[in-house]
Amino acid sequence: MSVPEPGFLERHLRERRAAGAKLLVPYVTGGLGPRWTEVLEAMAAAGADAIEVGIPFSDPVMDGPTIQEASQRALELGATPTAILDAVDAVDAGVPLVAMTYYNIVYRGGHRRFAHALSGNGVSGAIVPDIPLEELDPWARAAESEGVETVLLAAPVTPDDRLALICERSHGFVYGVSAMGITGERQSLAASAGVMAKRLKAHTDKPVLLGFGISTPAHAVEACAEADGVVVASALMRRLLDGASPDQIGSAVAGFRQALDAG
Amino acid sequence: MESRDTAALMREPTPEGRFGRFGGRFLPEALVPACQELEAAFRAAWADPAFHDEYLGILAANGRPTPVSECRRLSERLGVRVLLKREDLTHTGSHKINNVIGQALLTRRMGKTRVVAETGAGQHGVAAATAAAMFGFECVIYMGEVDVERQALNVFRMKLLGAEVVPVGSGSRTLKDAINEAFRDWVSSVETTHYLLGSVTGPHPYPWMIRELQRVIGDEARGQCRAILGGADPDYVVACVGGGSNAAGTFAGFVDTGARLVGVEPAGGAAVGRGIPGVVHGSLSQLLQDEHGQIIEAHSVSAGLDYPGVGPEHAHLADVGRAVYVPAADEEVLAALRLLATTEGIIPALEPAHAVAWVIRAAGTDALPTGSTVLITMSGRGDKDAEHVMGMLDAG
Ligand SMILES: Cc1ncc(COP(=O)(O)O)c(C=O)c1O
């Protein structure tokens, strides 16, 4: 895949939103099994608007048991940032890709080199949850110079003044954390989700997506009452860990797609 | 190397929590407000004489000040004059009590009612559970499964004190994974819960705050040494370094003297000695990691030092050359434990036995010339390790 045009992620999501779609961004852990890039392709074919590709880290403090296990398994299978990005480069998903990792992976690679490796391998955006606003500059400078869109997270406890800054400095979309906590499946959508999305929408016209705990198509529909879209991770990775094929993951993503399209 | 102006060392970090190029606050947004709240609470408390009175008053009821004792027979044997700062004589048996009392007072000030903590050796867990009992807090302790096994006595003590102990089965199943799990709890519970971190690690303000809460070790020892040494300071001040809290508290009392500061790391977890700058658990510091940025597991006989990172201020002290960090291997640590026991009648915890091991190895060399005076922080007593050490000595 060639270097994405700068701003592809946000432009694509805005266009889809303008066309009336609710945005669906599934997640796959890079390197999780020999067929993980087929999973990525199946997600795209099933109607994903963008795809998050996890670059696993040994100590994922924001992640619950499912993504922890997925990360650990991928690392045991030899996943490295370079191998994952090389594999991504060979795929033509047709939708923007967003790398999701932790700051030490970026820091070790070198800000500029890591940003360059993303854009050079067809990845449009990056999510690095353990870089708060105060520590953002070195990465943001590198990302901007390489045309990588950095998606920032906001949490239910984030006060309004920080929320405004997060919305201003986030590119691609703004990621609202639906509930205080870590990633992982939940029985129901947290009450904080709708409030989170509403607060973000009041600050920005960038696409606002909710993530963390979106486990079923019904949750996704409920979240999209306020948000422009959702990120779905653990619910899909649990299936993959349980042995689902790329086609089966594709079907699960299609289930979310259909529910969102039906409203 | 930066300036060696020692007067500027071990003061407040920058507003971003930096010590030189290390430190900072690398956390998800969800935890930033809690760190800001903690920083504000600590600043206000630390400027408040009433807070100091209460903090020192509680410590006085729990064994402070601790003595500095002479090691006559060991000194004779090594040819250097060895003094010990006896944190092993505090209530709960280690320096960890200094930190937890301070943080418990802050927890109460912030109106929180629950604390979570990580523990390796179990000393911080026991101290945290003790403070929680004293203040009536709910208390959950995360501990790696490997450590639950090798520090069984402390697990039992924590439970007796009313804490819930949660074994952590992910990753290396030691201290680093217990910290991950404590952060995961905290991000879900932050509105009612304080994360009672045990060492000078983590996001700003923890490394600074915990050094300040531990500086009572160094402040006391400085005066005590002067009384013993006719107004002089020791030539060497030595402490073991896991995250580095007993060392930071000790060094803080001597950083502006002529004493050489020596931190002793486990050979299998020498983050300052063999690490590479990186970010884990909220701060930028020296870190054992591979070429891709994955954290490498530490390996040490001592659960309390089995950690791949180190407090950022130690990375800075090493950077500017004010302190040196040296390794001690498991075998020499066990030998040091035995030698201190048989010459002085003190059974140290495995952690401070690292500091003793370096002194034994270095005594009479250029690193610690004959005739020098050396203060070692005896950060904890060895009861918790008795069973584990028994097994190793039998086997070896
Ligand atoms: C007795 C004792 N000393 C030292 C340590 C290491 O911690 P730190 O380096 O923070 O002093 C521990 C940790 O559990 C301990 O129990």
According to the model, what pLDDT value does residue B270 have? 95
Record: contact B293-A107, CB cut-off 8 A: yes
Mean pLDDT of A32-38: 97
Q: In the predicted model, what is the mean pLDDT of residues B184-202? A: 97
As a whole number, mean pLDDT of residues A139-149 equals 98
Report how far apart, in Å, the C-alpha atoms of B51 and of each of A227, B17, B102, B114, B213 are: 46, 23, 9, 21, 12
Helix, coil or strand: residue B142: strand
Stretch A124-151: mean pLDDT: 98
- Please say if the pLDDT value at position B3 is more than 50: no
B378 in contact with ligand 1, CB cutoff 6 A: no
> What is the ipTM metric for this complex?
0.96
pLDDT for B362: 98
Domains and their CATH numbers in chain A: 8-262 (3.20.20.70)
Q: Which two tokens stand for residue B120?
A: 């390796």
Protein residue with least CA distance to atom 13, ligand 1: B304
Answer positive or negative: Cα dihedral of B95, B96, B100, B103: positive
Mean pLDDT across the stretch A243-249? 98
Asked if A63 is an active-site residue, the reply is yes
Whether residue A60 has pLDDT greater than 90? yes
Q: With bands split at pLDDT 50, 70 and 90, how would you rate the model's confidence at A4?
A: confident
For B285, list phi and psi in degrees, rounded to 5: -155, -175
For the residues B184-201, what does the mean pLDDT come to? 97
Domains of chain B by start residue, with CATH: 6-57+95-195 (3.40.50.1100), 66-94+215-395 (3.40.50.1100)
| Residue of B35, B52, B91, B95 marked active site | B95
Q: How far is B34 from chain A (nearest CA, A)?
A: 9
What is the model's pLDDT at position A6? 81
Q: Would an 8 Å CB–CB cutoff place B15 in contact with chain A? A: no
Mean pLDDT of B118-135: 96
pLDDT above 60 for B290: yes
Tell me the average pLDDT across B355-362.
98
Q: For residue B2, list its beta bridge partners.
A: none
Per the annotation, the verdict on B194 as an active-site residue is: no
- Ligand 1 mean position, distance from CA B211 (Å): 13
pLDDT of residue B5: 62
Q: How confident is the model at residue B113 (pLDDT cuts 50, 70, 90)?
A: very high
Residue B335 has pLDDT above 80, yes or no: yes
* Its pTM surpasses 0.90: yes
B133-to-B89, B111, B128, B129, B163 alpha-carbon distances in Å? 20, 16, 9, 6, 8
Q: Whose CA is nearest to atom 16 of ligand 1?
A: B123
Give the SS3 label for residue A191: helix
Identify the closest residue of chain B to A66 by CA–CA distance. Answer: B170
